[in-house]
């Protein structure tokens, strides 16, 4: 399992990335994260919805209620143009962090 702290740190770029692929609702987002991580990342409702609300408040996503013939109403979320730009910035930052970690993990210990 991936630690809760690391999972929490990745929530924003993960949600924005999922919504860039198309609109989705909360349960489906949670299911997709679990599937994509091979079950190593687990998001709960209590973890996901505050982030969705914050992203919506910040204008990075928008939501609307949809009613299908045979299901109860669901709140669907989709990424906005501002969200797509924020995702580009998030991706650049995570790539920089990844590059630093790769360098550090591949350094051979010095022998003194």
**How confident is the model over 18-61, as pLDDT tens digits?**
999 999 999 999 999 999 999 999 888 899 999 999 999 999 99
**How confident is the model over 54-106, as pLDDT tens digits?**
999 999 999 999 988 777 899 999 999 999 999 999 999 999 999 999 999 99
Q: Note the residue count of the chain.
A: 112
**How confident is the model over 6-19, as pLDDT tens digits?**
988 999 999 999 99
Task: Please report the pLDDT score of residue 112 as a whole number.
Answer: 61
Task: Please report the pLDDT score of residue 71 as a whole number.
Answer: 79
Domains located in the chain, CATH noted: 4-105 (1.10.10.10)
Task: Please report the pLDDT score of residue 11 as a whole number.
Answer: 94
Question: Which CA distances in Å does 41 have to 12, 47, 58, 68, 88?
Answer: 14, 12, 25, 30, 22
Task: Please report the pLDDT score of residue 4 as a whole number.
Answer: 87
Least Cα distance to 19 among 90, 88, 74, 83 occurs for 83
């Amino acid at each position: 399992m991936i630690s809760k702290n690391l999972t929490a740190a990745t929530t924003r770029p993960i949600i924005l990335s999922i919504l860039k692929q198309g609109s989705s609702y909360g349960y489906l987002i949670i299911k997709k994260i679990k599937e994509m991580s091979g079950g190593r990342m687990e998001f709960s409702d209590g973890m996901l919805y505050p982030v969705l609300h914050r992203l919506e408040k910040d204008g990075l996503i928008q939501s609307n209620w949809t009613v299908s013939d045979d299901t109860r109403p669901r709140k669907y979320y989709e990424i906005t143009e501002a969200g797509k730009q924020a995702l580009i910035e998030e991706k650049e930052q995570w790539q920089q962090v990844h590059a630093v970690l790769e360098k550090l993990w591949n350094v051979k210990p010095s022998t003194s």
